[in-house]
Amino acid sequence: MSIIPISLAKWLQDTARPDRGMFYEIDGVRRYMGFDELYREALLMAERIRSLKLRTRFIAPIWMTSSPACFQAIMAVVLADGIPVPLHAASAVSEIPAMLDGLEAELFLYSSSLLSDSRLSECWVSQAEYGTLLMDGETGEVRNPVMQEGELKLTERTRRYVPPHDTTFIFMSSGSTGTPKGIMLSFCNIWSNVRSIKQSLDLGESDSVLITKSLGYCSTVTGEWLLALHAGMNIALAPGMAHPLQLISAIRKFQPTFLCTVPAVMLPLAKSVKWQAEDFQCLRKLIVVGAAMPPDMLLLMQNRLPATDIMPCYGLTEASPRVTYLPSRWLAAKPGSAGMAVPGVELAIYHDGRPCPPGETGEVVVRGDNVMLGYYNDEKRTAEALTPFGLRTKDEGWLDEDGCLYVTGRSDYAFNVAGHLFHPETLEKILLSHAAVAEAAAAGIPDAATGKRPVAFVVLEEQCSAYDAVQVVTELLEHCRERLPAAGRPRDMMIVPVLPRTKTGKLDRRAIQAKVEEGYDDHGRREISAAIDSH
């Protein structure tokens, strides 16, 4: 049985092994840094941060590209007794000052490639009055634009909100609502989930993980980086892949045995003929997180990769984040399931305050040491989420007799069609399973007869873009008719070049629904399509 470390700082020290480390590339040259060296560099940066004399448990957002320096910066903040807030590298510069103010951040670490000197002067002068110091996360140099004779002139302030003392990480997650939330996680939350993930995946020192996703995702920090430290795995970094087929090159190069990826990468691979099973022969475990994959696409990938265990998973940042996994041996029997609860996590379905029996749909509720401390400075939202019976996820679904979860969709955007509850995700999965569709989104539009009816927007695969639009839409409507009940079939479908997405890559459902509500009537389909296109 593993001994529980007393803190994340102690755990980072204990796992700073010289015989395990991180592989990465700079300018096409392959490099390696041992975890012991990474830890020593983090200690040096932590001393630099301590010299700034920040308050105890200071908050430090970190906006950096995925590189050893980013890992080092997060570690340095922890070792200096601060609370790191990893941000997605795709975050907009214009969004960050308000976020720093909302968190009352004392320190902001950044990559110079994301924030040039000109933008630094343009955007960050106002942060001096809030007491936020700016540091180049790659060099440790303090770059605050308001300095007099080399001395920092910052305004002291009293915090409006003090997070719980055991807060170890804060992750900013907009989810499907578009409203930023600071999700506070303790070391107990993180540690319990790392152990659960390791046990469910059966990973060890002979394994290695390829990290391609941003450290702004909790799943990357917990389910890949810290999991690697706990299991004794090496790490390979391959960030910023613009095309899913680049994943093939990274796998060939680094030969990982474990990969965590998302449907946006898996779907194009499933539909592509430009790779062979031999390209993935090193992979023992491949898990899919972030959203549900169409079941037939999962089975297609498993058939193409018989030597790799493919496992869909379900989770949310508020649960640190892993909640379920589907063992690969069950994939053929339960391809539409998100699987069973990981060890140490309890799963239940509730409707109107009562637990539901197997087969009955309701809200997914999670219990366990992995459940968050709460939302930063938001008592109302915290009280709504953390209830006596567990964490309310706002995801709807049902459990089968084996305790496997089937997620039907988010409650936020479900709507009624002729008395039937309809989740946009249901239609989107069907559309994404078609070879011609690269992306799909659904929304509800007013209908005199049914109250609302679904409308679909699709982005075609590149090789299908030259096809006759009427022919493609006709084929897709027939594809839906064969696979969906009448209430779930769209009568309206539009081909668009792009879909609105949040900075974390999720569909921006608020933007899609708003355009529908603003522009749709019986003669307004072009107006909606144009609005979506121009987003």
Report residue 144's pLDDT band, with 50, 70 and 90 as the boundaries.
low
Same topology between domain 8-162 and domain 417-533: no
Q: Is 374 left (phi over 0), alpha (psi -120 to 50) or beta?
A: left
Higher pLDDT, 445 or 255: 255
Q: What is the pLDDT of residue 90?
A: 81
Q: What is the full DSSP assignment across 17-60? A: -TT-EEEEEETTEEEEEEHHHHHHHHHHHHHHHHTT-PPTT-EE
The CATH fold of domain 8-162:
Rossmann fold (3.40.50)
- The model's pTM is 0.85
Q: What is the pLDDT of residue 520?
A: 54
The CATH classification number of 185-411 equals 3.40.50.12780
Percent of the chain with pLDDT over 70: 87
Dig out the tokens for 291 from the structure.
């959203």
pLDDT of 58-67, one tens digit each? Answer: 999 999 999 9
Would you kindly state where each structural domain of the chain is located, as residue ranges?
8-162, 185-411, 417-533
Report residue 347's pLDDT band, with 50, 70 and 90 as the boundaries.
very high
Report residue 459's pLDDT band, with 50, 70 and 90 as the boundaries.
very high
Cβ contact 358:326 at 8 Å: no
Least confident of 90-104, 139-153, 252-266, 282-296: 139-153
Give mean pLDDT, residues 386-404.
Answer: 96
What whole-number distance in Å separates Cα of residue 242 and Cα of residue 481?
Answer: 34
Give mean pLDDT, residues 127-154.
Answer: 68
Strands (E), 137-257: 147-148, 151-152, 167-173, 181-186, 208-211, 234-237
pLDDT of 189-220, one tens digit each? Answer: 999 999 999 999 999 999 999 999 999 999 99
The domain covering 417-533 belongs, at the CATH homologous superfamily level, to ANL, C-terminal domain (3.30.300.30)
